[in-house]
Amino acid sequence: MTHDVIVIGSGAAGLTAALALAERVRVLVLAKGDLAGGSTAWAQGGIAAVLDAGDTFENHIRDTMVAGAGLNRLETVEFVIERAPHAIQRLVALGVPFNSEGENLHLTREGGHSHRRIVHVNDATGWAVEEALLNAARAHPNITLLPGRACIDLITGRHEERYSGSGRVWGVYALDEASGKVEAHTARATVLATGGAGRVYQFSTAPRGATGDGIAMAWRAGARVSNMEMMQFHPTCLYNLDVKNFLITEAVRGEGGHLLNPRTGHRYMLDYDERAELAPRDIVARANDSEIKRDGLDYVHLDISHMDPDFVKGHFPNIHEKLLGLGIDMTRQPIPVVPAQHYTCGGVLIDLAGRTDLPGLYAAGECTESGLHGANRLASNSLLECFVFGEAAAADILARWDSFDAPPPVRPWDESRVTDSDEEVIIKQNWTEIRRFMWNYVGIVRTTKRLERAAHRITMLTAEVEDYYGHFRVSTDLIELRNLLQCADLIVRSALRRHESRGLHYTLDYPALLPEAVDTVLVP
């Protein structure tokens, strides 16, 4: 099937791009599973933008660069932050019901921000944003939404009927998850908006589908990826044996919550950083990890019970209700929390127009490395990045539209040499193994020895998974396993290359910061 533009992913980045493109061209949006299945719908805290009279772009830029430990590209940071107020206006126009205080939007605070700067919809901002974007996309006659399509690999010159071997991207092969058939979707331009790779770790706040598919697809097609060692761990994921990945928003600390050692009751963050609970995320996550490991704890405590109960319930109605259902009343008792993987700072290298290395391929959102986050993302800067780059990619495609050729005929997906799997246990076993060793060897605190151990396991598993992939029909689980493994490889290779501790990459073998901040760029 041929379309004008294909957007892969229906989160904040994909839907923003689709809505902007649909003003002039026809857009097909493909999504694995449900349309609202990405991280966007799970976002809690909000979106960072300079909207307060006492705040400035310079402040937001500085906070972003400080959190990013200087690895950010200043040009990108300025580009995004200066467009933030406009992005919020567009969301308001789409009907996102941000909390307000009189005439103004209410601004909450999160770690690393020197001002109140986060617009939000209670403690469930992402859901409100996803709903507004989806409503607008559903109503647009130029947008076709196709959920239940797991994209496998990009279509390039290698797949043309008259083989050209060029890196030009013409669309994607996608598995129809209901019928099990693989379809070739072609277009003049393709936008990757597939989100992060958080599920490469055993503990993650991200939804199940965050398996780095877009990063792996772009890499296999020949695009460079950058800074994959910069995996962000959120300091406060709920510790609960049944509910594994429920986030407790950073805004709980922003509105006065304290971190306490459950054994001593000591408020320990001041021992680690003068900004205490509002230090950037890498510092707070390492402090929590260190308390837990030093004292052999299962968790630390996040306590906001000293605040007025109505204030707590008013600010965090969803978290309050969820915790009550688990027997925890956050207005009266502390919440047990642990660090968990949260955000993929690295990804497919893009420029300010969302262009990747490959002609015809654009990318936006968490699957990219745009230069905004550097070595550690500042809280609530990621939804913002999705809106700004979704729009930028669409604008560049429309501006160059006349120079994009129509896609040539391409070869259909070849299933002639595969059969149905009789050993699906391999998928489950390998998936569990990858996530365990990534957590234990490539986590918050790293060493070269542990990274080498992980690299060794990746080599062995890659041979096994590629053999399996070559013999059996694809399923979503198999596609995800292959991509998880690819991303694990990119993360470990990048981590082994960085001989310093900067931002999220902290290694006992190279504890010092090098004088110059240099991106880790991997070339396929």
Catalytic residues: 281
CB of 356 to ligand SIN, least distance (A): 24
Q: How far apart are CA 95 and CA 92, in angstroms?
A: 5
CB 506 → ligand FAD: shortest distance, Å? 21
Q: Based on CB atoms, which residue is closest to ligand FAD, 114 or 290?
A: 114
Nearer to ligand SIN, 186 or 380 (CB): 380
Binding-site string for ligand FAD from residue 197 to residue 236, where x marks contact by CB under 6 A and - marks none:
--------xx--x---x-----------------------
Report how far Cα 202 is from the mean position of its chain's Cα atoms.
Answer: 16
- The span of 190-198, 325-333, 351-359, 450-458 binding ligand FAD (CB under 6 A) equals 190-198
If contact means CB under 5 to 8 A according to the sort of partner, which of ligand SIN, ligand FAD, none does residue 32 touch? ligand FAD
Across 25-170, the runs of DSSP E, i.e. the strands, are 27-30, 47-48, 100-101, 104-105, 107-108, 118-119, 143-146, 149-155
Q: Which residues bind ligand SIN (CB under 6 A)?
A: 44-45, 249-251, 343, 379-380, 382
- Of the pair 480, 500, the CB lying nearest ligand FAD is at 480
Radius of gyration (Cα) for the chain, nearest Å? Answer: 22
- Which tokens hold the place of 261? 């050692």
Q: State both tokens at 523.
A: 């070339």
- Residues in 24-43 at the binding interface with ligand FAD, rule: CB under 6 A: 30-33, 37-40, 42-43
Residue 22 is classified by DSSP as T
- Which CB atom, from 77 or from 496, has the smaller least distance to ligand FAD? 77
Sign of CA dihedral 8, 12, 13, 14: positive
Q: State the residue number with the nearest CB to ligand FAD.
A: 11
Residue 363: beta bridge partners? 192
Binding residue for ligand FAD, selected from 6, 45, 200, 235, defined by CB under 6 A: 45
- Alpha-carbon span 344 to 494, nearest angstrom: 13
Query: Among the candidate windows 4-12, 99-107, 178-186, 223-231, which touches ligand FAD by CB under 6 A?
Result: 4-12
Q: What are phi and psi of 355, to 5 degrees?
A: -80, 135
**Shorter beta-carbon distance to ligand SIN: residue 32 or 342:** 342
What are the C-alpha distances in Å from 300 to residues 50, 206, 262, 312? 33, 21, 6, 20
Q: Pick the closest to residue 346 from 128, 72, 37, 60 (CA basis).
A: 72
Q: Among 440, 435, 465, which residue's Cα sits nearest to residue 450?
A: 440
For the CB of residue 65, give the shortest distance to ligand SIN in the complex, in Å: 17
Interface residues with ligand FAD (CB under 6 A) are: 8-14, 30-33, 37-40, 42-47, 125-126, 149-151, 193-195, 205-206, 209, 213, 247, 343, 365-366, 380, 382-383, 386
